[in-house]
Chain A
């Protein structure tokens, strides 16, 4: 077992890594690997490495690193959310929902469970409910602007789909059922 004081990489070193990684992702990964020799159980290093690997397109390794981060720190909420989101964007919806499971225990006013609920609606093709929950999450999220931007992109796509469905549903008799479904969808509380 690693001594707790030795577990985490120092703040100065972390700031250095983040600064380097901003302009040189591959260099950042090399630097993180060097720090992982001394701090193999620092979940922040694994998470940061995973995020850089995604940017570099080294996606198989990225999943390993991000998984390791939440294995080491199960309550590292943002890492858990991002891992689930990475899995969702990799076409692994069931796995993403399982990864996010623990986030449901956070207070209802926390943005992450709101985002998770919204994305679960997305997986079930419930676009209106998805938009509603993602918007609530964006309103509640004051700390992480990039995450809000990701969610806004998803909202925009859902709105596009709904607009397409609406336009299609007025096209002819074959769309009567979908028009009724949309109406029923609107009536939901």
Chain B
């Protein structure tokens, strides 16, 4: 989207989108930096998502499968980003389309359509819970205190997911009176501010997991770290959010 003229920055006067994109690729190829891989992923995420949705429409697949297809498309996109070489002269979207489509078809072949949505959701939720309970030392705190923290962290996760999905339509289970709606919005704003205050890598994990529904394994590929490390970062980030949200109350 174009900025209004009066809000234009100096660099916008001369920046050309094709060159900005090429610069991103050049720096990524030279450095392999996770931050640049993430920028590339964000740049093409909507494209991967639209391929997944188109595939679902063409094959008359149920809505419940779409989320799984998107997840397969993201895997294909991440693979395409790592394998693409712009010096070979092929446009990225042309290169990536067949890989994303292949990933969707392969993924679909591995799952039972009816259980797809459920499996993805369950896997994602299992990852979350495993991440949060992992490393808890028995005996250091009471089981009730541990459970309370776990529930708070899971609730924070649900709030973030709801926040990211707000544009999709009305939320299920949200408050229906003006006061509660206001309180909900204020808490969400507070949460958004706290997320912005996290370390860069923590922000990336939280954003990609809750906003883009990426599994820990996919975020691990994106950041060039192990899946276990992503799980640790997720736990640390939610722990920080839990503490700061408590202080803020």
Contacts and interface: CB of A to CB of B under 8 A. Distances in A.
Contact of A161 (B6, B15, B20, B26): B6
A88 B23 CA distance: 10
Given A59-B19, A165-B6, 9 more contacts: A60-B25, A63-B22, A63-B23, A87-B23, A88-B15, A89-B15, A90-B16, A91-B15, A164-B6
28 contacts: A59-B22, A59-B86, A60-B29, A60-B86, A60-B87, A63-B22, A88-B14, A88-B15, A89-B14, A89-B16, A89-B19, A90-B15, A90-B16, A90-B19, A90-B20, A90-B22, A91-B11, A91-B15, A91-B19, A93-B11, A123-B10, A125-B9, A126-B10, A154-B14, A160-B5, A161-B8, A161-B13, A164-B4
A161 to B, nearest CB: 5
Interface of A: 57-61, 63, 85-93, 119, 121-127, 130, 154, 157-158, 160-161, 164-165, 167-168
Q: For chain B, what secondary structure do more than half of its interface residues adopt (helix, strand, loop), or is it mixed?
A: helix
Interface residues of B, number: 22
B22 A60 contact: yes
A91 B5 contact: no
Contacts of B89: 58
Contacts of A90: 15-16, 19-20, 22-23
Q: For chain A, what secondary structure do more than half of its interface residues adopt (helix, strand, loop), or is it mixed?
A: helix
B124 to A, nearest CB: 34
B18 interface: yes
A121 B11 CA distance: 10
Contact of A59 (B8, B14, B18): B18
Contacts of B4: 164
